[in-house]
Amino acid sequence: MEVVLADTLLSRCGDRAALLRALSAPLSAERAEALRLLLQRLAAGGPAAAGEAETLRRAAWEVALERCRPLLRGGEGAAAAGSAERLRAARGALRHCVQLCGAPLAARLARDALAELAAGGGAGAQEAAVEALVAAAPRLEEPELLSRCAAAALALLREEGRGRGGGGAGGRAAAAGAGRERGGAAARLGGAAGLGRPPWRTRCCLRGPAAPGLDARLCPRFWRLVQEGLTERDGLCRKRARYLLKRALDLSGGQRAELRCAPDEPTLFWWSAEKNEELLQFWETYILIMETLEGNQIHVIKPVLPKLNSLYELAISGDKGCWLFHPSWHVCIYRRMFESENKTLTKEGILHFLELYETKRLPNSFVFSEFVIGPLMDALSESSLYSRAPGQSIGACPPLGMRLQKFLATYLTLLPEEEKGSFLLKFIQKMTSRHWCAVPILFLSMALASIPACKVLGAEGLHALRDVLQCTMITHQILLRGAAQCYLLQTTMHLTDVEKVSFPEVSSFLLSLRPEESLRRDTLLWTELCSWLQVNDRCFRKSVTFDFEHQETSSLCQYVRSLVGEYLKTPASESKLNVGKSNIEWIELEAFLNPLLDVLMKLGSNAYIPTLKADKSLQLLLKLLQTRWLKCSNAQDGYLNCNLDRCDLYLALIPEIMNLCLKVNLKKVSPIKNFLSSLIHASIRNLQERNSEKLKDQIRKVASMASLAAVCEVMDGELKVHLESMPSVDALKKFISFSQFNEVLNKPSYLEEKNSLCEEKASQGWGKIVARYVRDQWICLRFVLNSFATLAQGCEETSVMSLSTAERSKEILQSALEALSVLPSDQVSPVFDCMKVLVPKLLDSSEALCIEAFDLAWKIISSLSNTQLIFWANLKAFVQFIFDTEVLAVAASAKGQAYTKIKEGQVLNSLIFFITNDEQILKFWFLVFACCLTVDNLMAVYDHFVRICAVKFLCLLDGSNILHKTFMEDIFIKLLDKDELVSRSRTRYYANSLQHRIKNRVWQTLLVLLPKLNQNFLCGTLDRVFQAGFSNNQASVKYFIEWIVILTLHKYPQFLDKFWDCFCYDEEKLKKSICTFLSVLAHFDIILQNTSEKKPALKKALIVVLQWCFSHNFSVRLYALIALKKIWGMCRMLHVEEFEALTPVIESSLQQVENMHGTGNARRNWQRIQDHFFFATFHPVEDYSLETIFYILPRLSELAEDEWISLSRFDRFTDIPLPAAFQWCHSRTELRELKPSDWAQQDMGSHLAEADSQTEWTDVQKKIIPWKNSSPSLDLEMTFQDRAAKLGKSNSRLIVVASLIDKPTNLGGLCRTSEIFGASALVVGSLHYIQDKQFQHLSVSAEQWLPLVEVKPSQLVDYLQQKKTEGYTIIGVEQTAKSFDLTEYCFPEKSLLLLGNEHEGIPANLIHHLDVCVEIPQQGIIRSLNVHVSGALLIWEYTRQQHLGTLGYVIFGR
């Protein structure tokens, strides 16, 4: 509307120059904006009369120099309110003044601005000078002045750097109007827009003012800026970069001159007249790819990707084998793909780059090496890219993983020898430079391990690999971390140059590996490592730390021997190692064990041997016995930790030495008994002493209880038979029986004297010691409880306090609950073991206490997370406690709350809800069934094991057994509850999502239970099954529901009345679910097998189906027709006379469907639904088997592969037998041989073309941008409408008036069409429409580039009259008695199209104001076209007639 008002004011003003002067004094914010708008319209209005033009130029000159320039310098109250708007308007007015006055004013402004910049001054003066240069630069014609401006702009850029600060003064000077709010690349790229001028105006000084006549295309920095812009995250920067590239190419192609950016090879840019066609082909393909990538649509982009291969063919010289075009241009394409929001596009880009070196032999380039280390590895950090391809089996390496292996091996092979080491070092260091997820690290490690053996890594590379182990992978999942460790160890052995690394460096790396996760003894990897060390034994670099004397022996042996010597060396006693001669060829075990043996022999005789030396010798002995590492205490440790660690060391040696003695000689039992007896008596005596708060007394108690616990654990093992008869054992049992449990130790008195900080640390350490003390008490109690019968016989005189009494058992169970609440989670295992013995004795008398034990135990287990090793031990103890045979038996016989909790709260979940994001809970259910079903072959990798156990358990249940029957009915109800809960929580869910898997497993289990349920129960629950069919289900769930309904009706046809009720709901409820019930009718012959009264049922079915054959929904009609075909076939076989009247209608309808002509979707879909396995092959009764339920149907429905359970696993995973009567192996061959695609084509509803396999597409989509008609130097501070009005593309004089249209969708489409075909303006009834989401969805930002004018319907008459006075022909798009045929009408240049309302067209009162009406010829029956379509046809016809020669191509339908 502002534009209309400005044009009206100018047209009715006699003296325009006087109007400008009047508005400019004083120049307030409102006056400045009005002045800018008037100057804009004057500059865009074309040439005026000679005298008036000169007057306007003088007025514009005065406004520029006397008003705008002082205001920009900060004068005239710039700090007042509204100064930002006033300054913005002043900048725009200054540019329009330059347009009116031309080169003279531009030169004057440029000289003044350059002088001000040279003189310096404040920030305001510098900013004003830059604004003057921005306004003047587009109109400068003197090469010398233009060069000075460019030099000044570049000088400012150098001062501000190349960061985002480029958006400041220098950036805006270079941008020539690019705008302040776009810093960095956007401003700099806008500044290089001079390439779009004629050749003599493209010259700008890039090397200083002393060298005029230079071309920006010769500057490498210009091309680097273009490349930077092509990969910017900001879309406008990328658009400007493409604009600059096209301008440069257009200029180069037109000049056909020799041009080379720099003498380097390959250069960033070059041009040759001889290679003009090849260069144009390369760059046109390049721009096509870059513009296509802007769409982010993989179906559009994928056909263009093969053109990347042709780029490489053009970029590489076949004769010289070198790069003709700098490879950084290719890198820009891949970087753009990697930064796409579409992850599929990112993956396609990565795969394409990785396979380059498999298909092409590319010259070596440092750019590619840097690209691999940088953007490529950043892109590879996304875990979702490593998904398996369809058809790959579980455990197979995904395509990206395989490509990565081949690429890294090939790329390293092609690198020069001197570059391999540095490249690999950077590659590995990149793996430590960020937090990587476990999956990418695994496949990167796998790729490193696949590199052929070569000696390229030195000590620095070994340290980098160690850093990956110690830092990057520290928090990863244990299995993935272990696999990655194995691959990194293989990488070390394959790629390390042993002559550059020493044994200490290798040892440091090996210590970073976790033996329990990767490097275990006697594995293949262990053997490979030993062989590698043996082969390279004498090749390792000598260490500065260790000076080997005996060079004739193995260097590895010398290193190990020196380690032992250093380890056993202590400050109190240092001695030279006395190494005897060894005849072991490689590892001289005897040689480095001699110092250890020397110390061990003195332990019993030398009372003055240093304690630390004795500790270390025992630790080394324990390591050798256990082949595991045990931490030793440092000499600087305090008395507390040192003594407890020594206690642990001695106690850990006891079972190892005993087992060793028993294996060597059974006669050694007697000395062992004597030792244990002494240890037991001494420990009991210490524990019975008065409780003292002295530190040494407290430590003695802790060590004594730990000793008794160690003895109890030893006696629970293989030595029980040999040691149980000792008198000291009875003393131990008696002592434990009458001890007070959970007894804690007071904090030692000396700790309380410490300062507050030390006290806090000591208290934390003391808490762990007390917790261990309590745990040891329960270890001893566990031993006593397990052998209680023996104790009862020996303690008859104290039977009142015997553990066999209920009171004592209850007291101990309460103590156990107290222990669970205070002990750390990693120390509760012995408490669980004790509860397993106590709970069966108390379930009858103290059920509430037992339930509390269940709840507290489960709370502890469920709280464990990311503690894999701790979790397993506690989980096993918990499962053995909860699902102990005696516990289950007592709970089942009592049938109390405990039985209900175990049955519903635990077993039910394990049947189905094994899907969870919590890995610990998943493992819990695995162990539940491992223990509950007494299965030994634990397979923790598969959740299939648990499900198989659960399914077999259900198969073993007998419906005639009352207990079994009640259990199955409870389970069935709980499963239906779970399905309803999932459906309510998420009304829509994706295939293979968590919700889909849970629902799928629910209905699989219901299908297994179905044959065992009786009629009465099903009668009460069938309605809930029907209700599940009304939900929005994935295909696999939908077919399980249909299968259950079919089997139920087949077995109990009397339920058909309930089934017919499903068709009585309103259409709104049935529109999404009716296909489920129609699919059931497609198997009506099976349903009626067990009923003699078939005709009434057929009559009802026919009536129901015929109603849905006329549905508006095409899919519903297809399902109804397939059901009709089945039911009508049954009617004809039974000769149902009641339907004879319908015979011609039904048969002609079915025949018409069968004989549909054409190749449209209707014919194909009808054929597909008939061939669908559920209707053509599947037999609900004969195909009822475990194989169909758990393998065939999930496979055909394209569920994730880990949901398929094959028959072989039912046999292999467990030894639980299935009942002989259960038919679980009889899936028919026809069904078993179907392929997943047979299902996928139906349920996906699409027919994918085979075009993806094409190597080169003959034609691809191409997005055309009319860059030659756009201006990169637009002021981005202008409003959208001002910017659109200044685009300069509207040579068109067409105005589209849509004020009568009130639907945002039609307006949005018209806006897009008008912008594409260059209409000068679109008139709408209200500008509020552009904020509407529907408008924006259709316009796709066209409103930002097209002038929009607001004219309300009530103002249309005045508006049309005004346009008539301006020379416009008013054309109505309407069918009238005198309307012209569109194909015969010739549009005048100044045309105004008036479009009517969607329903009423153009009102009669407006038709009288039209000059002409145009109608679109038609041949169909429908009366009219959509108003947007009508408008688009007329806009196109106008454009075809007026501007066909200058029109770019356009792609319709986007």
Q: Report pLDDT digits (tens) over 1171-1220.
A: 888 888 889 988 898 889 988 898 888 787 778 888 777 777 655 566 65
* Mean pLDDT of the 777-794 span: 69
Which tokens belong to 901?
């909790």
Q: DSSP characters for 131-153?
A: HHHHHHGGG---HHHHHHHHHHH
What contacts 798, CB < 8 A, 6 or more positions away? 738
Q: Please state, in angstroms and rounded to a whole number, the distance separating the CA atoms of residues 496 and 904.
A: 58
Q: What is the pLDDT of residue 1454?
A: 38
Cβ(892)–Cβ(943) below 8 Å: no
Cβ(326)–Cβ(266) below 8 Å: yes
Q: Please state, in angstroms and rounded to a whole number, the distance separating the CA atoms of residues 314 and 308.
A: 10
Q: Examine residue 416 and say whether the peptide bond preceding it is cis (omega within 30 degrees of 0).
A: no
Least confident of 224-233, 331-340, 509-518, 1152-1161: 1152-1161
Which tokens belong to 273?
């007249």
Half-sphere exposure of 357 (CA within 13 A, CB side): 21
Q: Please state, in angstroms and rounded to a whole number, the distance separating the CA atoms of residues 1319 and 1290.
A: 6
Q: What is the pLDDT of residue 1?
A: 57
Query: Which amino acid is residue 796, in one-letter code?
Result: E
What angle is formed at CA 32 by the lines to CA 29 and CA 37, rounded to 5 degrees?
130
Maximum distance among all alpha carbons in the chain? 134
DSSP type of residue 991: T
Residue pLDDT, tens place only, 64-88: 888 888 888 775 444 444 577 788 8
Q: What is the pLDDT of residue 1361?
A: 92
Residue pLDDT, tens place only, 1329-1384: 998 988 988 998 888 888 899 999 999 999 999 999 999 999 998 888 888 999 99
Strands 1369-1373 and 1380-1381: unpaired
CB-neighbour burial class of residue 417 (10 A; exposed 0-12, middle 13-18, buried 19+): exposed
CA distances from 955 to 853, 1007, 1011, 1395, 1441 (A): 31, 11, 10, 73, 80
DSSP type of residue 1328: G
1341 forms beta bridges with: none
How does residue 1062 score in pLDDT terms, banded at 50, 70 and 90? Answer: confident
Highest-scoring range by mean pLDDT, 372-381, 525-534, 1152-1161: 372-381
Q: What is the pLDDT of residue 205?
A: 35
Highest-scoring range by mean pLDDT, 722-726, 849-853, 1304-1308: 1304-1308
CA distances from 1389 to 1318, 1356, 1378, 1412, 1442 (A): 13, 21, 22, 14, 7
Q: What is the pLDDT of residue 1018?
A: 92
Phi, psi dihedral angles at 215 (to 5 degrees): -105, 135
Residue pLDDT, tens place only, 787-844: 754 334 444 444 434 445 678 788 888 888 888 888 887 788 888 888 888 888 887 7
Q: Is the pLDDT of residue 349 over 80?
A: yes
Q: Is the pLDDT of residue 748 over 70?
A: no
Higher pLDDT, 43 or 531: 531
Residue pLDDT, tens place only, 449-503: 999 999 999 989 999 998 888 877 776 777 788 889 999 999 999 999 988 888 8
The structure tokens 């030396």 sit at 613
How does residue 668 score in pLDDT terms, banded at 50, 70 and 90? Answer: low
How does residue 921 score in pLDDT terms, banded at 50, 70 and 90? Answer: very low
Q: What is the pLDDT of residue 1321?
A: 92
Q: Please state, in angstroms and rounded to a whole number, the distance separating the CA atoms of residues 1297 and 1321.
A: 8
Q: What is the pLDDT of residue 307?
A: 84
Q: How many CB atoms lie within 10 A of CB 444?
A: 26
CA torsion angle for 875, 879, 882, 884 (degrees, to 10)? -150
Q: How many CB atoms lie within 10 A of CB 462?
A: 22
How does residue 377 score in pLDDT terms, banded at 50, 70 and 90? Answer: very high
Q: What is the pLDDT of residue 1016?
A: 92
Residue pLDDT, tens place only, 947-975: 777 787 788 888 888 878 888 888 899 88
* Mean pLDDT of the 862-881 span: 65
Higher pLDDT, 770 or 717: 770
DSSP type of residue 828: -
How does residue 607 score in pLDDT terms, banded at 50, 70 and 90? Answer: low
Q: Please state, in angstroms and rounded to a whole number, the distance separating the CA atoms of residues 473 and 461.
A: 17
Least confident of 319-328, 496-505, 1317-1326, 1342-1351: 319-328
How does residue 206 score in pLDDT terms, banded at 50, 70 and 90? Answer: very low
Q: Please state, in angstroms and rounded to a whole number, the distance separating the CA atoms of residues 1373 and 1380.
A: 10
Q: Please state, in angstroms and rounded to a whole number, the distance separating the CA atoms of residues 778 and 964.
A: 38
Give me the percent of the chain exceeding a pLDDT of 70. Answer: 70
Q: What is the pLDDT of residue 836?
A: 82
Higher pLDDT, 860 or 1316: 1316
CA distances from 885 to 22, 830, 881, 929, 970 (A): 103, 18, 9, 12, 22
Least confident of 57-61, 925-929, 1292-1296: 925-929
Higher pLDDT, 597 or 1298: 1298
What contacts 1408, CB < 8 A, 6 or more positions away? none
Closest CA to 353 of 374, 370, 337: 337
Q: Is the pLDDT of residue 1233 over 70?
A: yes
Q: What is the pLDDT of residue 130?
A: 83
Q: Please state, in angstroms and rounded to a whole number, the distance separating the CA atoms of residues 716 and 1044.
A: 52
Element (H, E) at 750: none
Least confident of 309-318, 695-704, 909-918, 1323-1332: 909-918
Q: Examine residue 199 and say whether the peptide bond preceding it is cis (omega within 30 degrees of 0).
A: no
Q: Is the pLDDT of residue 867 over 60?
A: no
Region class of 817: left (phi > 0), else alpha (psi between -120 and 50), else beta? alpha
Q: Please state, in angstroms and rounded to a whole number, the distance separating the CA atoms of residues 1189 and 1224.
A: 10
Strands 1348-1350 and 1380-1381: unpaired
Cβ(1085)–Cβ(1222) below 8 Å: no
Which tokens belong to 1276?
């981005």
Q: What is the pLDDT of residue 693?
A: 65
> For the chain, first and last CA: distance in Å?
30
Q: Is the pLDDT of residue 430 over 60?
A: yes
1349 forms beta bridges with: 1323
Q: Please state, in angstroms and rounded to a whole number, the distance separating the CA atoms of residues 284 and 286.
A: 5
Query: Which amino acid is residue 639, in one-letter code?
Result: Y
Phi, psi dihedral angles at 424 (to 5 degrees): -65, -40
Residue pLDDT, tens place only, 1130-1149: 888 887 777 777 788 788 77
Q: Please state, in angstroms and rounded to a whole number, the distance separating the CA atoms of residues 967 and 970.
A: 5
What angle is formed at CA 917 by the lines to CA 913 and CA 923, rounded to 5 degrees?
65
Q: Is the pLDDT of residue 300 over 70?
A: yes
What angle is formed at CA 802 by the lines to CA 797 and CA 807, rounded to 5 degrees?
135
Q: What is the pLDDT of residue 1292?
A: 75
Q: Is the pLDDT of residue 762 over 90?
A: no
Which tokens belong to 570?
């202590």
Higher pLDDT, 519 or 626: 519
Residue pLDDT, tens place only, 1004-1033: 999 999 998 999 999 999 999 999 988 888
Least confident of 177-191, 414-428, 474-488, 1223-1237: 177-191
* Mean pLDDT of the 250-272 span: 81
Q: Is the pLDDT of residue 3 over 50?
A: yes
The three state secondary structure string of 1051-1116 is HCHHHHHHHHHHHHCCHHHHCCCHHHHHHHHCCHHHHHHHCCCHHHHHHHHHHHHHHHCCCCCHHH
Q: Which long-range contacts (CB under 8 A, 24 or more apart) does 501-504 make?
A: 501/458, 501/459, 501/462, 501/540, 501/541, 502/459, 502/540, 502/541, 502/542, 502/543, 503/540, 503/543, 503/546, 503/555, 503/556, 503/559, 504/543, 504/545, 504/546, 504/559
Compute the mean pLDDT over every residue in the chain, rounded to the nearest whole number. 75
DSSP type of residue 389: P
Q: What is the pLDDT of residue 871?
A: 66
* Mean pLDDT of the 744-771 span: 58
Q: What is the pTM of this model?
A: 0.60
Does residue 1367 sit in helix, strand or coil?
coil
Query: Packing angle between helix 417-430 and helix 438-449, nearest 10 degrees?
Result: 160
1296 forms beta bridges with: 1322, 1393
Q: Is the pLDDT of residue 126 over 50?
A: yes
* Mean pLDDT of the 1405-1421 span: 88
